[in-house]
Amino acid sequence: YYVGMCLAASEKQLLSLSQAPEAWRLFLLLAVTVPSIACILIYYWSRDRWACHPLARTLALYALPQSGWQAVASSVNTEFRRIDKFATGAPGARVIVTDTWVMKVTTYRVHVAQQQDVHLTVTESRQHELSPDSNLPVQLLTIRVASANPAVQAFDIWLNSTEYGELCEKLRAPIRRAAHVVIHQSLGDLFLETFASLVEVNPAYSVPSSQELEACIGCMQTRASVKLVKTCQEAATGECQQCYCRPMWCLTCMGKWFASRQDPLRPDTWLASRVPCPTCRARFCILDVCTVR
Ligand SMILES: [Zn+2]
Ligand SMILES: [Zn+2]
Ligand SMILES: [Zn+2]
């Protein structure tokens, strides 16, 4: 470009450096130095069969004394080709977990850690109302991967909380969790939480003192704690029906029953739908679920 300008704009006297305008001299300087720096850097990296390249140096941290970083690279390659690896994240920040390696691949860097000496800690969770590819609330987890090897820099990986279970399966080390972080593992868990908070604001139902509360017939673990009372509309109107069963279910089991009758592909309709009572089949909605006092 500079040579072209020398010929095209001969009045600027670009050919003789001492007389060329200041800005053009700076331009020429940059045009020469930047590519030469790049060339020198590439030459430096390529010495000793690319052993100075940052990626090779990262891998060399795990190499055994008698073998080079190439051995580590081929181990990573072999494991990466297995279909059971765990991979997630956008192309700019892929997270890949294979049988022995935890890797994070970003545009300019590759972080590698060996599974046997990493500590994973969930440091943060962020709730987003909607994710771009489905209209569900999503929770993003930040997991810090720190290695026992001091030469390996710690790095953060991000993933959706629904993939957390899958990640735990692939990892051999347990994942520690910072005390304030709550992980919503699946849509079901999220629904149960919402269900419980909605039932809480419904009017409570007081059992006659003569009646003893039995154990929940769903889980047999806790006492029955909810009763279905039609409160959403007047007795004779609407689609809901009055259920005459005594309290037999705990809140969690009732929530699970409610969720099990829903269309998993349309979670936006869940809260507004009606399901039959698990015992007498009378239809009810969430407004009709009353806690027992
Ligand atoms: Zn139960
Ligand atoms: Zn019933
Ligand atoms: Zn109702």
Instruction: Calculate how far, in angstroms, residue 137's C-alpha sits from the geometric centre of ligand 3.
Output: 25
Q: Domain check: are 84 and 7 in the same one?
A: no
Q: Domain check: are 42 and 93 in the same one?
A: no
Q: Which ligand is nearest to the CA of 192?
A: 1
Enumerate residues with CB within 5 Å of ligand 1 (an ion): 216, 218-219, 250, 253
Mean predicted confidence (pLDDT) in 72-100 = 86
- Which position has the token pair 């520690």? 176
Q: Which ligand is nearest to the CA of 221?
A: 1
Q: Domain check: are 65 and 164 in the same one?
A: yes
**Structural contact between residues 177 and 107, judged by C-beta atoms closer than 8 angstroms:** no
Question: What percentage of the chain has pLDDT greater than the value 90?
Answer: 22
Instruction: Calculate how far, in angstroms, residue 92's C-alpha sits from the geometric centre of ligand 2.
Output: 53
Q: Domain check: are 115 and 143 in the same one?
A: yes
Average pLDDT, the chain: 84
Q: Domain check: are 60 and 162 in the same one?
A: yes
Q: Is residue 57 pLDDT above 70, yes or no?
A: yes
Tokens read off for 119: 């500590």
In a domain, 21, yes or no: yes
Q: Give the rounded distance of the alpha carbon of 3 from its chain centre.
A: 53
Q: Domain check: are 134 and 197 in the same one?
A: no
In a domain, 99, yes or no: yes
Kindly report, residue by residue over 203-237, the tens digit of the pLDDT. 999 888 877 888 999 888 889 999 999 998 887 88
Q: Domain check: are 73 and 107 in the same one?
A: yes
State which residues form the domain around 28.
2-50
Instruction: Calculate how far, in angstroms, residue 159's C-alpha sits from the geometric centre of ligand 3.
Output: 38
Instruction: Calculate how far, in angstroms, residue 288's C-alpha sits from the geometric centre of ligand 3.
Output: 5
In a domain, 182, yes or no: no
pLDDT for the residue numbered 134: 59
pLDDT for the residue numbered 280: 92
Q: Is residue 98 pLDDT above 80, yes or no?
A: yes
Confidence grade of residue 281 (pLDDT, cut at 50, 70, 90)? very high
Distances (CA, A) of 206 to 11, 128, 210, 283: 98, 38, 11, 21
